[in-house]
Chains A and B, each alone.
Chain A
Amino acid sequence: MRYMAIVKATEESESGRMPTEAELAEMGRFNEELVKAGVMLEGAGLLSSSRGARIQYSGSNRTVVDGPFTEAKELVAGYWIWQVRSHDEAIEWAKRIPFQAGEVELRRVAEAEDFGESFTPELQEQEARLWAQAAEQAKQ
């Protein structure tokens, strides 16, 4: 099973301050542990919300709101995708993240079968196609 570990933003991460060398080194060691254990599938840090945007939907209308956004705790500053054997294992890894403050949210990545009947084959296909395009673009 896969879990996404979502790193919540903080005032500091939103301020655009980059991690110190010591913090980076410590995070590097943690990531290395994940890789060595065969747990790490991918992960990335996100820039502050001032470099992002929100798109709101209402029927066929789209409203684009540019960042930055307030309420740092509701924002995401980074993520990992882990392959683990259990919910408990995901928690155990999350406990080992070398953070001094802040919050990480763990969410299990849905497999197609978790959507049940409402997720029709056509929808599944569409969704996967989007992912495929995203993956393709990421390569370029």
Chain B
Amino acid sequence: MTETHDAVETIWRMESAKVIGALVRLTGDVGLAEDLAQDALIAALEQWPESGVPLKPGAWLTAAAKHRAIDLFRRNERFRAKVEEMGRQTELERNMGVPDPDMLDDAIGDDLLRLVFIACHPVLSRETRVALTLRLLGGLTTEEIARAFLTPVPTIAQRIVRAKRTLSAARVPFEVPDRAALPARVASVLEVIYLIFNEGYAATSGDEWVRPALCEDALRLGRILAELMPAEPEVHGLIALMEIQASRLRVRVGPAGEPVLLLDQDRARWDYLLIRRGLAALERALTLGGQLGPYALQASIAACHARARTAEETDWERIVALYDALAQIAPSPIVELNRAVAVGMAFGPEAALEIVDCLAAERTLATYHLLPSVRGDLLAKLGRVEAARVEFERAATLTENERERALLLARARSLRSE
């Protein structure tokens, strides 16, 4: 019995996005759709242990949820009013005739893509988009999202409830944005996926430096998106970036849980399956043509590192050129700081220090630990040991990650003993 129960839950995770997508198209409302989909899950939990898992479980779940929607529409005044308010009654009535369990693949894909755009809609706050995307598209439970983001469960639950209410109140349409709105909306989707990835890759708080499960979730979402929007170069750019970064996951952390920086990593232990996939995705982005976007540029930088067999072989001049391009289209103090590091490697610490010192007045970096950390590194290379030590100590007080703090303090100590 429990075995079937687990199987139902697993299938639910695999199919829920498609089921919810179909139901949002029908009802026009994410909250309603999720409730109906939950009803279908309960029906499956009741029936499958007796009847066995159907041949096409996803289609079964969707059909069950649709039946439930139609049933409610006929019987429940409030539900009918709600659906009519969303302008969805014709869609629902059209489905009343013969509920077709074998939906066309195209329709499923379209629904999924629309669901992505709803979950990442700009009317929602950034953290809400992240939670809703993991819930609707990733099939994660509220508890799992809370655990991943080290946030209390009620906070996430409330965030999701409020998100559904916001979408409903704003009457956000279930559609793929038109050509004019598309670039900004795609950017919002990519940002959400990359935020999820980064939360796993460089855990911003807590004792752990990496939470690989979140990276895997982000990668899966990215790969799904690439199939839904194969002609968008930046989607492939983002996947390339994530795959290449993820290829270093297992060597980013040392045996004692301490972070190991890119140039100190054992390259033989990188994951070459992911690197190969990343380089292929980058190739796809480049083949689609046009000016490179910020993700494709960052992926190109990551690819420079991935292609270098040893840290010394790194093509730093090309990396500087790529950062120059990135600074043109997506200028930010963080990009500038990274550019400084590359300049330091390509043209020496003096040139880099000039760039870093220009950033000293940057208010957005005032509490950013990597600024003093990079500056400390450059000063150390220039032999200004005492100044370097002060910078590392400052960086240690700024980081929120325990492991990183230990690493920075160790560097400061090593300078003292010299």
Report A's interface with B, CB cutoff 8 A: 1, 35-39, 41-42, 81, 83, 85-86, 88-89, 91-92, 111-112, 121, 124-126, 128-129, 131-132, 134-136, 138-139
Contacts and interface: CB of A to CB of B under 8 A. Distances in A.
Nearest to B227: A36
B224 A135 contact: no
Contacts of A41: 273, 277
Main DSSP-derived SS at the A contact region: helix
Contact of A89 (B13, B266, B268, B277): B13
A128 B6 contact: no
A39 B268 contact: no
Chain B interface category by residue count? 20 to 34
A54 B215 CA distance: 38
A56 to B, nearest CB: 28
A80 to B, nearest CB: 12
10 contacts: A36-B224, A38-B223, A81-B273, A85-B213, A85-B216, A86-B10, A91-B10, A112-B250, A128-B269, A139-B276
A42 B269 contact: no
Interface of B: 6-7, 9-11, 13-14, 109, 213, 216-217, 219-224, 227, 250, 255, 266-270, 272-273, 275-277
Contacts of A35: 223, 227
B10 A38 contact: no
Contacts of B217: 85
B270 A128 contact: yes
Contacts of B223: 35, 38
Given A38-B222, A83-B219, A131 B272 contact: yes
A135 to B, nearest CB: 4
A132 B268 contact: yes
Given A81-B273, A89-B14, A129 B268 contact: yes
A131 B266 CA distance: 13
B272 A38 contact: no
Contact of B269 (A83, A85, A125, A135): A125
A83 B216 contact: yes
Given A81-B273, A111-B250, A139-B276, A38 B224 contact: yes
A85 B216 CA distance: 9
A13 B12 CA distance: 34
B220 A39 contact: yes
Nearest to B253: A113
A134 B272 CA distance: 9
Give 9 nearest A-B pairs by CB, closest first. A38-B220, A38-B223, A135-B272, A88-B10, A129-B268, A128-B269, A128-B268, A38-B224, A36-B227
Contact of A88 (B7, B266, B267): B7
Nearest to A130: B268
A81 B11 CA distance: 19
